[in-house]
Amino acid sequence: MHGAPLTRDGDLVLLLDAKNKPFTFRLQAGQELQTHRGVVRHNDLTGIPWGSRVASHLGQTFYLLSPSLHDLLLYLPRQSQIVFPKEVGYLLLRLSVGPGARVIEAGTGSGAMTLALAWAVGPEGHVYSYDRRSDMQALAGRNLARVGLESRVTFQQASIEDGFGETDVDALFLDVPDPHLALPQVRRALRPGSPFGAILPTVNQISVLLAAMEANEFAFPEVCEILLRFYKTVPQRLRPLDRMVAHTGYLVFARPLAAGAGPPSAEDWAEAEPV
């Protein structure tokens, strides 16, 4: 019978203190983690079972865990608003991003969606990430390197209105203020019939995008938002928490048709039921 897996030097770990404060880092022999609850030596975290309870030099309790993708995204070092985990999971499903996929995103930002896409495409897939700002792409690059996924992403510092360098990609996602301006370029890069997605903060922007999608032969548009409510996890007092993660952005999905296929009419769109 095999024993419990043990941590090794070089592993990416999540250390939680007794109040659920997270610390994510790679184990390196001889290094130390300095916290307000004391010092934790990396050597003391190496070669022990995942899920172990450990103590700082002050005797304060920590728990040693393997970070989930949710943990990595939620605590990502950032300089800009990120696509939140509650949207990321649904986006990956709707864009059908899986092992081996080739995906374009525009609006790299701090790299949260970039990281999620790189995680999902696996070692055989690839992500092409566009942004005008080199400083944001540098931060995103560091965030990817921190979790060992940098080889799965090619950063392109360019304006998407000038077009994408890739063609026949499997999915394309835009997190930019004016996605409607880039729809002709999206059509040239995305394989016909493959999923397109965007995230926008206001309904005004969505109205403009919907009209542009109709003009550019995109079909089956959908708009949604995702609200997330947590519960107080005390068995005797199970109830919703006072705060919830409400609106953070509207998600828009559609598929570009083959040239000349002709999209359904606006009346058909209005009457279509969400899938």
Domain ranges of the chain: 12-67, 70-271
| 273 has a pLDDT exceeding 80 | no
Q: What is the DSSP letter of 24?
A: E
Pairing assessment for the beta strands 231-232 and 239-240 based on DSSP bridges = antiparallel
Residue pLDDT, tens place only, 27-55: 999 999 999 999 999 999 999 999 999 99
Confidence of residue 275 (pLDDT cuts 50, 70, 90): low
Q: How far is CA 206 from CA 122, 250, 251, in A?
A: 32, 8, 9
Q: Which two tokens stand for residue 71?
A: 């943990």
Q: What is the pTM of this model?
A: 0.86
Q: Which two tokens stand for residue 211?
A: 């009209």
The gap between the terminal CA atoms of the chain, to the nearest Å, is 46
Q: For residue 81, what pLDDT is reported?
A: 76
Q: For residue 78, what pLDDT is reported?
A: 79
| 274 has a pLDDT exceeding 90 | no
Q: For residue 159, what pLDDT is reported?
A: 93
Numbers of helices and strands, H then E, in the chain: 8, 15
Question: Within 13 A of 94's CA, how many CA atoms are on the CB side?
Answer: 23
Quick one: average pLDDT of 245-274?
76
| 218 has a pLDDT exceeding 50 | yes
Quick one: average pLDDT of 196-224?
95
Looking at the chain, the whole-number percentage of residues with pLDDT higher than 70 is 93
CB-CB contact of 158 with 130 (8 Å): yes
**Neighbouring residues of 239: CB distance < 8 A, sequence distance ≥ 6:** 231, 232
Q: For residue 76, what pLDDT is reported?
A: 84
Q: For residue 268, what pLDDT is reported?
A: 61
Confidence of residue 1 (pLDDT cuts 50, 70, 90): very low
Question: Within 13 A of 89's CA, how many CA atoms are on the CB side?
Answer: 10
Q: For residue 203, what pLDDT is reported?
A: 95
CB-CB contact of 64 with 52 (8 Å): yes
Residue pLDDT, tens place only, 109-133: 999 999 999 999 999 999 999 999 9
Pairing assessment for the beta strands 171-174 and 196-200 based on DSSP bridges = parallel
Confidence of residue 18 (pLDDT cuts 50, 70, 90): confident
Overall size of the chain counted in residues:
275
Residue pLDDT, tens place only, 58-83: 999 999 999 999 999 888 887 777 78
Give the residue with greater pLDDT, 245 vs 224.
224
CATH hierarchy code of domain 12-67: 3.10.330.20
CATH hierarchy code of domain 70-271: 3.40.50.150
| 267 has a pLDDT exceeding 70 | no
| 234 has a pLDDT exceeding 50 | yes
| 3-state SS class at 235 | helix
H-helix or E-strand spanning residue 40: strand 38-41
Query: What average pLDDT does the structure give for the chain?
Result: 92
